[in-house]
Structure 1
Amino acid sequence: MVQPATQDAPRVGNKLTPREFRGMAAILMSIALATLDTAIANTALPAIAADLNASPAASVWIINAYQLAAVATLLPFAALGGVLGHRKVYLGGLILFVVSSALCALAWSLPTLTVARVLQGIGASAIMSVNAALIGSIFPHERLGRGLGMNALVVGTSFSIGPTVASLVLSVASWPWLFAINLPVGLFALVFAWNSLPATRLGTLTFDRVTAVLNVITFGALIFALSQAAQLGSMASVLIALAIFLVGGALMLKREVGHPAPMFPLDLLKRPMFALSALTAFCSFATQGLAFVSLPFFFESTLGRDPIQTGFLMTPWSVVVAMIAPFAGRMSDRYPPGLLGGIGLAMLCLGMISLASMPADASVMSIIARMMLCGIGFGFFQAPNQKALMTSAPKERSSGASGTIATARLIGQATGAALVALSFGISSTHGPVLALSIGAGFAAVGSVASGLRLVTKNTANPRV
């Protein structure tokens, strides 16, 4: 049951109260920070490596440390949100993110920066794990799609402007300022959130530390295996990490047998509507990972474009997602998410096929049109699918559903990146085309999974 943190004016119709508006603004600012941070670090990696005298292979850990820490701790933080309340986990994560951003800016070596990035990933994980649950507490059920659409808008916009922001900052300042700019925005979000986010009653269950450790080991090993595969690391390291993933996962599932609210949401995945929504999310983000890692190589190696043109050609996808997301979110309040997601991912599949089959002499407008088609399809999927995940879970399991959203996104993107490496290993010449074709296949599977929700009864939530 949601209770206000402070007294405020009553809700008028479906409009948010001033306190709810401030809380939503804080959530969107923090999500923008976490999304921007990933895109900025990717773009600035060469500059950071040169300044710290780190090799390209070693500097990749600036990216890997953040991703590994985030994925490994998402579900434990989601479970902790169900015990302590979403507000406490969010605020703790935001404080850690701000502090670790300062540590990143002050780092003097690759090891110190890597440790700071681990802390930053943990902070971002705490924010992302309860993000959707907090939005569900702020928006009334009949307008939840709008709230999630606003969230998708911020994610899409942040993702699209991240490289531009990094380039602008690096043109006038050194790389530590890329992390220092998080401080004023993060503090502003913290001030907004402190007395505005809805508080929830403490849960009756306890937090299982052993399961949390097993979860960290399991998903940490999975992300390590995927990152090693994506970077063409040794086969032995990939196989060892996968073995740890399988053993750790088996022990975790065995320990949680019969638990009323398992950390790994096996109870929710047994619900057809939730499982199909999670599969749809994984497939779509795997498609995104395949596209965004392979397309720069495709544009430069196959189509002969220079890096500046490549950056320009990559932009339409994310911009269109940001434009479509709020519209799709509002439509999900009127139409079934299975229908919207199915149509969107079918469009994404067609867009990926059109990119893979594009002639070498394709015009700029032809490329932009294909990228826009992919963006429209992905934008139509995102907010409706998030709503489907949240509404197909019982109210008391909103933390588990919220954590699943972020976990499916990050693991899907990591899987996509690893499959790009596999594609290049199979054929260095036709690797980008193969990766785009695999992405089209994932989008097709996601479209079918989304469509199956139209004939699947939702037994999870009596409100739906």
Structure 2
Amino acid sequence: MDEAQIDTKKIYERRWSILIAVMLGSIMAPIDGSIMNIAMPTLREVFHAPLETVSWVSMAYLLVVSSTLLAFGRLGDIMGYRRIYQTGLFIFTASSAICGFASNISALIAGRVAQAIGGGMLLSMAPAILTAVFPPSDRGKALGMNAMSVAVGLAIGPSLGGFLVSTLGWEYIFFINVPIGMAAFIWAQLVLPRNSVRRNERFDAIGAMLAFSLLFSLLLYINRGSQWGWISLTGVITLGIAVISFIAFILLENRQSEPMLDLSLFKIRLFTAGTVSTLLNFSAQYIMTFLTPFYLAQKGLSPSTAGAVMTAFPAVMLVMSPVSGALSDRLGARGLSTLGAAISAGGIFLMSTLTLDSPIWRIALNLAVFGIGNGLFQSPNNSSVMGSVPRDRLGIASSFLATMRNVGMVMGIAIGGAVFSNLSQYFMTQLNLTGTALQNTAFMYALRIAYMTGMALDILCAVTSAVRGRHNAV
């Protein structure tokens, strides 16, 4: 048996230890993303900063992590997934400590930018590492368990943030990452395969800058367009930068012998349909998760009760993600992901039938149905996308999948917020009611249509899942 065979055997034997190492890293970024909102009022008081400035603590992280994923994915293919992942763990952990020690709002925002760079490395490499390590027979299960760790992070973020802010102080929403990051770094150092360098290729720096410009300006426009005015001067300039960057990026990548994003991947139906499905699914998901807390507040529920009700969605996903991943290893991805998207559409439809008098158990049940659908969709879809590309393109495939997920999140919040706010104002002027009755009726009419918009996106997701094809390429 030669050295390569011995290394492959050792990697296969410790694949579940590698999964644990990746899950430890994967849980930190979603915790950090979901933990921040609960601390915003406290940060505003501590730093005596206006809300617009404080909002950049969250905005800076979202924009930078989303805009750097593609570049880190390509670097992983060139330099090795272990190296990029380990560097991301170090940067994320160190910058978390820097954020906790920040003495002013500017230093905190700068620390969040550094955190986003580390988070981008982690998010772009995790699926690539697991796809490279796990054989097709176990790949769906592994990706499903990693998706479970992301769901855990999103689920515990708000409640953990509230506890830390109220008991220990805002600094500890960042300090909490330090012991987790150190443990993840040490564990990854012990188990991640060392012979993961791919090819002696040149990194497309100009393509990376154009991709960053495209994603940063596009996400900024989507997120801030309603405040600026979609056709205001600022909005038009920002969107114009995105369009010009996109055209320049496509023209450049088509001419590059070693492109930053290999456009030939989009000729693979599984890859294209799966990434489009991810975009649609997360857009629908974030319409629901963004608007439902407002509905629960309008219903009169306390923040703690509303948080407990909302937990029904990620809690069910925790169970479904590894189960659906294991099933996809046996049954394939197309049927499961299509069924999951259809169930998700049904869950949002059920949410649209609620009234302000609906019992809490019914709301939780509807959210659970939505969680079943999303859990059933995501793991098979991720496994299908990652299994469809050549092994020397796993990094860019992983990062592009993560990019579509983040863009979908931003789109969902923007679409849901725009539909709901505009229709609320419209119904307030059209209904022949006054006082609380007018507010409640206009609120529920607008909420139902916003939910139905999310349902339409999930129906489209089911369609794109159904046409993806049957078999993986690798």
TM-score range, shorter chain: over 0.9
Give the residue type in structure 1 aligned to 2:75.
L
Change (3 A) 1:319 1:354: same
1:345-383 Cα deviation digits (max 9, x unpaired): 101101101101212211111111100000000000111
From 241, 253, 257, the equivalent of 2:254 is 257
Q: Which runs of 5+ in 1 are unaligned?
A: none
Q: 2:218 maps to which residue?
A: 222
Query: What's the TM-score once normalised by structure 1's chain length?
Result: 0.93
From 211, 216, 241, the equivalent of 2:238 is 241
Q: Which moved more, 1:213-222 or 1:432-441?
A: 432-441
Q: Which moved more, 1:428-437 or 1:408-417?
A: 428-437
Q: 1:67 maps to which residue?
A: 62
Distance 1:427 1:10 in 2: 59
Q: 1:448 maps to which residue?
A: 463
Q: Is the 8 A contact 2:77 2:197 kept in 1?
A: no
Give the residue type in structure 1 aligned to 2:248.
L
Q: Is the 8 A contact 1:66 1:117 kept in 2?
A: yes
C-alpha deviation, 1:167, in angstroms: 1.5
Distance 2:447 2:263 in 1: 35
Distance 2:309 2:236 in 1: 36
C-alpha deviation, 1:57, in angstroms: 2.1
1:280 aligns with 2:277: yes
Q: Is the 8 A contact 1:420 1:431 kept in 2?
A: no
Give the residue type in structure 2 aligned to 1:338.
R
1:380 aligns with 2:376: yes
Q: Is the 8 A contact 1:297 1:432 kept in 2?
A: no
Distance 1:349 1:319 in 2: 18
Give the residue type in structure 1 aligned to 2:269.
P
Q: Is the 8 A contact 1:155 1:322 kept in 2?
A: no
Q: Is the 8 A contact 1:229 1:422 kept in 2?
A: no
Q: Is the 8 A contact 1:39 1:163 kept in 2?
A: yes
Q: Which has the larger radius of gyration?
A: 2
Distance 2:446 2:51 in 1: 22
Distance 2:262 2:450 in 1: 30
Q: 2:333 maps to which residue?
A: 337
Q: Is the 8 A contact 1:226 1:238 kept in 2?
A: no
User: Secondary structure of the equivalent of 2:20?
Assistant: helix
From 39, 42, 63, the equivalent of 2:37 is 42
Q: Is the 8 A contact 1:261 1:267 kept in 2?
A: no
Query: What's the TM-score once normalised by structure 2's chain length?
Result: 0.91
1:159-183 Cα deviation digits (max 9, x unpaired): 1111111111122111011101111
1:242-273 Cα deviation digits (max 9, x unpaired): 11111011111111114455323422122222
Q: CA RMSD in A?
A: 2.0
Distance 1:10 1:40 in 2: 38
Residues 146-295 of structure 1 mapped to structure 2, 5 A cutoff: 146-198=141-193, 199-229=195-225, 232-235=227-230, 236=232, 237-259=234-256, 262-295=259-292
Q: Is the 8 A contact 1:261 1:397 kept in 2?
A: no
Percent of aligned positions that are identical: 27
Change (3 A) 1:404 1:417: same
Q: Is the 8 A contact 1:298 1:433 kept in 2?
A: no
From 97, 105, 108, the equivalent of 1:110 is 105
Q: 1:436 maps to which residue?
A: 451
Distance 1:77 1:157 in 2: 24
Residues 73-84 of structure 1 mapped to structure 2, 5 A cutoff: 73-84=68-79
1:213-270 Cα deviation digits (max 9, x unpaired): 111111110111111036x334323322111111011111111114455323422122
Distance 1:314 1:321 in 2: 12
1:304 aligns with 2:277: no
User: Secondary structure of the equivalent of 2:203?
Assistant: coil
Change (3 A) 1:457 1:158: closer
Q: Which runs of 5+ in 2 are unaligned?
A: 425-442
Q: Is the 8 A contact 2:99 2:174 kept in 1?
A: yes
The structure with the largest helix share of the pair is 2
Residues 293-442 of structure 1 mapped to structure 2, 5 A cutoff: 293-301=290-298, 303-428=299-424, 429=443, 430-442=445-457
Q: Is the 8 A contact 2:278 2:401 kept in 1?
A: yes
1:143-194 Cα deviation digits (max 9, x unpaired): 1011101101111112111111111112211101110111111011111111
Q: Which moved more, 1:194-203 or 1:119-128?
A: 194-203
Q: Is the 8 A contact 1:324 1:376 kept in 2?
A: yes
1:327-351 Cα deviation digits (max 9, x unpaired): 0010010112110011011011011
C-alpha deviation, 1:43, in angstroms: 1.8
Distance 1:140 1:219 in 2: 33
